Homo-oligomer: A and B are copies of this chain.
């Protein structure tokens, strides 16, 4: 049985991870989106097991203690994390799993799952990054400048990923990601049985 890929799409804040992942899932129906767990309360319309696995802080902490997360973080008092077991099970069954995750999370996943496919999304330019961050239009100038500087620092982390994909347009970025996935499906370690002839 050929093993499925763990596709990790990451990038600095404002580089358009979400839009690219959505386009990829539309094009490749066989890829499953990894559902995260969180300790925050569900919002209107959110369903347990679809947007998130909703867990109490206590239940989440028990999962941490049991080593059940591929990575997790405490964001403004709420836990977010990626349960490892469902990912491993689905990959063993040959299914590709997509993880859309911030840079800190991705670096943690690299430690636990070095055989993942780590893709860093690059904004086309500093100006475009600025435009995308400003575009949300809800922050002070100081806050925006701070976010832009943080994003530039974060882009340096891209060097630690295997692949870097320019997100100039959603279509072109998704084309590049599909090329990467086609190649990764030819990795020797995804199908050890093929050497037994």
Could you say how many copies of this chain the assembly holds? 2
- A32 interfacial contact with B, CB 8 Å: no
Which interface class (under 10, 10 to 19, 20 to 34, 35 or more) fits A?
20 to 34
A155's contact among B125, B191, B197, by CB below 8 Å, is which?
B197
Q: Is there an interface contact between A162 and B187, defined as CB atoms closer than 8 Å?
A: yes
Given contacts A183-B182, A186-B180, A188-B120, contact A195 B162 (CB under 8 A): no
Q: Is there an interface contact between B186 and A155, defined as CB atoms closer than 8 Å?
A: no
**Complexed CA–CA distance, A158 and B189 (Å):** 9
Given contacts A176-B186, A179-B186, A182-B183, contact A194 B162 (CB under 8 A): no
Chain B residues lying within 8 Å of A192, measured Cβ to Cβ, are 159
**Complexed CA–CA distance, A131 and B156 (Å):** 52
- A161 interfacial contact with B, CB 8 Å: yes
**Complexed CA–CA distance, A162 and B184 (Å):** 9
- A152 interfacial contact with B, CB 8 Å: yes
Since A158-B188, A160-B188, A183-B183 are in contact, a sample of 9 more A-B pairs with Cβ atoms closer than 8 Å, ordered by chain A residue number, is A122-B197, A152-B197, A158-B194, A159-B189, A161-B188, A164-B188, A176-B186, A180-B183, A182-B183
